[in-house]
Amino acid sequence: ALEQICQASMTVGAIMAVNTVPEEAIFRFGSEEQKKTLLAPLARGELLGGIAFTEAETGSDPEAIATIARKSGDGYVITGQKHFVALAPAADLVLVFTKREGKGLNAFVIDTSSPGYNVREPCETMGLRGLGTSVVYLDDLYVPQQNLLGEEGQGFEILLEAITLGRLGVAVEGIAVAQAALELSIDYAKQRKALGKPIARLPAIQWHLAEMASRIEAGRWLVYRTAFLRDQGSDIKYESSVAKLFASQIAVEVTRMAMQVHGSYGTMKTMEVERLYRDAKMTEIYVGISEIQRNL
């Protein structure tokens, strides 16, 4: 379903994928009260969830997190900044990762209407512009004890789970945007004429289309296998990184070839393939850049 939705609109599909991350984290690590209160509304779309991990100096390194949660009475006071928070202006709750006063990380489910949760600066990204990616300031934000997800110090384990699911989602998005680019290219090649004949008859165009199709099929089966392993209850940390790396490369390569098929028209802002090219590049960056996947 996610692949089909992303073919029509990668932004809409990405919203669903982002929302799934806190939903899955609550399902696996949440208290019975958290599950009872939050899971059904998240699944029905009555609540929208996001995730806040990245900071100005963390990159993909959890040990570099500077946002801190200090014990205060029956809860915590959180101070720090989170960058590139998708759905920040629209989310009802956000899964926020902080360092502890002691060793390790904590994870919190935060109500975005809480005093001290402030969406400040929108991030003007090249693609996926509809995600509302922003910088969020956590200004002495008080969080009750019941908003702690999992146990004290269990944040790193929850983060790994969240990233694993997030990378699988990005892999699906990569295949979807590539498929959309292929279909646009086929339609365009049938309609566009050169010397009185559709360019679809030109060997160079046919080679592009064949190469695009073969790469998509290879990537799709890798992604489907990873999703199957997840359904079987397997640990897919390695597989999700491989799938994300491969599918994001396919997305960029296929949309680049789609631009070539479209020629000068493909560079125009009014052409859908131009947006797909920008969206595809985002799959190589967010939820861990390609270089990080190669290090795992």
End position of a domain, from candidates 152, 172, 189? 152
The verdict on 146 and 170 lying in the same domain is no
- 107/165 same-domain check: no
- Sign of the C-alpha dihedral computed for residues 159, 162, 164 and 166 taken in this order: negative
Q: Domain total for the chain?
A: 2
Verify that 119 and 234 share a domain, yes or no.
no
User: Do 12 and 147 fall within a single domain?
Assistant: yes
Same domain as 112, residue 213: no
Residues 123 and 32 placed together within one structural domain of the fold? yes
Q: Does residue 12 sit in the same domain as residue 78? A: yes
CATH number at residue 90: 2.40.110.10
For 57, the token pair is 């100096």
Give the dihedral of Cα atoms 283, 285, 291, 296; nearest 10 deg: -70
**In tens digits, what is the pLDDT along the chain, a chain of 296 residues?**
789 999 999 999 999 999 999 999 999 999 999 999 999 999 999 999 999 999 988 766 788 899 999 999 999 999 999 999 999 999 999 999 999 987 899 999 999 999 999 999 899 999 999 999 999 999 999 999 999 999 999 999 999 999 899 999 999 999 999 999 999 999 999 999 988 899 999 999 999 999 999 999 999 999 999 999 999 999 999 999 999 999 999 999 999 999 999 999 999 999 999 999 999 999 998 876 667 666 66
Q: Which domain holds residue 113?
A: 2-152
* Distance, CA of 108 to CA of 174 (rounded, Å): 29
- What pairing do the DSSP bridges indicate for beta strands 93-99 and 75-85? unpaired
- Together in a domain, 124 and 236: no
- Alpha-carbon distance of 135 to 122, in angstroms, equals 6
- pTM (two decimals): 0.91
Per-residue pLDDT reduced to its tens digit, 219-243:
999 999 999 999 999 999 999 999 9
Assess contact for 265 and 149: CB atoms under 8 A. no
Q: How far apart are CA 180 and CA 178, in angstroms?
A: 5
**What residues contact 151, with CB distance under 8 A and at least 6 apart?**
none
3-class secondary structure, 36: helix
End-to-end CA distance of the chain: 28
Q: How far is CA 154 from CA 3, 25, 54, in A?
A: 32, 12, 18
What CA–CA distance (Å, rounded) separates 86 from 122?
10
Q: How do residues 172-190 score in pLDDT, each as one tens digit?
A: 999 999 999 999 999 999 9
